[in-house]
Amino acid sequence: MLVQRLFAKRHALLAQVITLIRVEAWLAVLLVIVLSVVPGNMRPHVLPNGNHEHLTAYFITGILLGIGYSRAGQLLLSAVMLSVCAGALEIAQIWIPERTASLENFFSSTFGAWTALSLIALICCGRSVRMHYKRTSLSCRDS
């Protein structure tokens, strides 16, 4: 009975953490959108190179989305969504004062997102294989 209660508490805590990470992920998406559509003189520059800023912003957003939505289909959808978002925001920058659309920035953004989500997919896949191996080896010992 105690073990079941502890498991239930752990599961509830994990669900709360995942919910918090999902909220942070969508806030990161919103922040990327806002920083992409403000005029160039209003946007903060934190890294020396714009491509590094794109890569870093999309990598962090991808990590958060990947942790919050870690199923294979969700990871792929997140990667495609971030790529489409990066492309749409680059196109939108054509009409924003002091901003320029750039294929280089699009590729940096997309690379950051796909790298982050691929990393999460590898971690999840490795965890899944390890859990399968443990179940298989346990069932072999029981025989």
User: What is the rounded end-to-end Cα distance, in angstroms, of the chain?
Assistant: 28
Q: How many helices (H) and strands (E) does the chain have?
A: 4, 0
Task: Write down the domain spans for the chain.
Answer: 2-142
13-17, 53-57, 113-117, 137-141 — which is least confidently predicted? 137-141
| Tokens 């191996």, residue located | 133
With vertex at residue 98, the alpha carbon angle to CA 96 and CA 99, rounded to the nearest 5 degrees, is 60
90-105 tens-digit pLDDT: 999 999 998 999 999 9
Q: Which of 111, 13, 117, 139 is nearest to 55 (CA)?
A: 111
**52 in Cβ contact with 32 (< 8 Å):** no
Q: 91 to each of 68, 110, 112, how far by Cα in Å? A: 28, 14, 18
Q: 25 to each of 1, 18, 21, 31, 109, how far by Cα in Å? A: 36, 10, 6, 10, 16
16-62 tens-digit pLDDT: 999 999 999 999 999 999 999 999 888 888 888 889 999 999 999 99
Q: Which of 64, 56, 65, 109 is nearest to 83 (CA)?
A: 109
What pTM was computed for the model? 0.84
